[in-house]
Amino acid sequence: MRKSIQAVQAPVLEDALAGYLDYLATQRRMSAHTLRASEIDLRKLHELKAGRSLEALKMADIRRFAARLHMQGLEPRSLARVLSTWRGLYRWHVRQGRLAHNPVLDVRPPRGAKRLPKALSVEQTGALLDAPVEGLLEIRDHAIFELFYSSGLRLAELSGLDVSGMYSVQGDEVIVFGKRSKTRSVPVGEAARRALRAWLAVRPQLAAAGEAALFVSQRGTRLSDAMIRVRLGRWAKTKGLPVHVHPHMLRHSFATHMLQSSGDLRAVQELLGHADIRTTQVYTHLDFQHLAKVYDAAHPRARKKT
């Protein structure tokens, strides 16, 4: 995977594209992951326009480029992201007065099947988090997974936490640095606080001198996002869960279970740090699925006759 990314990044981007990437990095302060995705999207445009300037491209060209990418197997969801990157590129140049029009403005990807986020049931979550903990690394991992589920954090938000300071667990809340460089505060439940206390008691056995990170690796440095994914997948497998569990699934589970219990969509939006409530509304579909299952199991006229 690393080799393929390096191969994509090898050619030097022209100034019109490189300048926009620099803007995303320095002004928008996008994460490294988002920047890599944006660069790949811009390289697609660079290849498709075949030497023509951005100003020379018309809406018909953009539609043709999008159709070609779709024919090459790019899913509607991914194509939407590509078009969004291109749209942002043109918008930036128009704002700077370098271009007169944005040919991507009214180009939309084909509709794809709406995929709902996968969430664990309350019982599966309990099986994951209530399993016995053995050894130093499992104490750390248990604290990580409890905090994911307790506060609905994104992976980058959790891995970026420090022991103290601005972005850390402070009493019964955690302060995180979220998307779009926004800071938010989220409550931390008692089960997560207990798991964190257990981890902090043994953390000095792993942490290097002066290391600020809350969660550290065996080398004593900040635990990487990739290792957190690996540890969670392995933990779920050894604890007997029948599904692959990843960090965002715990965030989905947090959101789904909160909505099922409270019915307060706005509160869940605030807790998740969503800028647009439409992003949060996907969980209402999951909540309906849960209600439909309860109905099918309980209503005397819903069950099929045997």
Residue in this structure with the two tokens 């439409």, named with its chain if needed: 278
> pLDDT category, 206, cuts 50, 70, 90?
very high
Whether 142 sits among the annotated catalytic residues: the reply is no
Q: Is the pLDDT of residue 3 over 80?
A: no
Question: Active site residue: 179, 184, 193, 229, which one?
Answer: 179
Q: Is the pLDDT of residue 302 over 60?
A: no
Which two three-digit tokens encode residue 291? 């209600």
Q: Could you report the per-residue pLDDT of 58-108, keeping only the tens digit for each?
A: 999 999 999 999 889 888 888 999 999 999 999 999 999 999 999 999 898
> pLDDT category, 43, cuts 50, 70, 90?
very high
Whether 283 sits among the annotated catalytic residues: the reply is yes
Residue in this structure with the two tokens 């969430």, named with its chain if needed: 119
Question: Active site residue: 44, 93, 140, 154, which one?
Answer: 154
Whether 251 sits among the annotated catalytic residues: the reply is yes
Q: For 105, what's the count of Cα atoms within 13 Å in the CB-facing half-sphere?
A: 9
DSSP H stretches of helix in the chain: 2-9, 15-26, 32-49, 59-71, 76-95, 122-129, 136-151, 155-159, 190-202, 225-238, 247-262, 265-272, 277-280, 282-298
Closest CA to 280 of 117, 76, 153, 159: 117
Question: Active site residue: 93, 251, 252, 257, which one?
Answer: 251
Whether 252 sits among the annotated catalytic residues: the reply is no
Q: Could you report the per-residue pLDDT of 131-151, keeping only the tens digit for each?
A: 889 999 999 999 999 999 999
> For strand 183-187 and strand 173-177, is the pairing parallel, antiparallel, or unpaired?
antiparallel
Whether 274 sits among the annotated catalytic residues: the reply is yes
The per-residue pLDDT of the chain, averaged, comes to 85
Q: Is the pLDDT of residue 44 over 80?
A: yes
Instruction: Using alpha carbons, list the distances in angstroms from residue 151 to 141, 192, 217, 242, 244.
Output: 16, 9, 22, 24, 21
Instruction: Using alpha carbons, list the distances in angstroms from residue 185 to 151, 188, 263.
Output: 9, 10, 21
Sign, Cα dihedral of 77, 115, 244, 246: positive
Amino acid 5: pLDDT: 36
Question: Active site residue: 91, 184, 248, 290, which one?
Answer: 248
Amino acid 75: pLDDT: 86
> pLDDT category, 258, cuts 50, 70, 90?
confident
> pLDDT category, 7, cuts 50, 70, 90?
very low
Q: Is the pLDDT of residue 268 over 50?
A: yes
Question: Active site residue: 91, 193, 229, 274, which one?
Answer: 274
Residue 3's Cβ-count burial label (10 Å; 0-12, 13-18, 19+) is exposed
Q: Could you report the per-residue pLDDT of 154-164, keeping only the tens digit for each?
A: 999 999 999 99
Q: What one-letter code names the amino acid at 8? A: V
CB 102 within 8 A of CB 95: no
% pLDDT > 70, the chain:
85
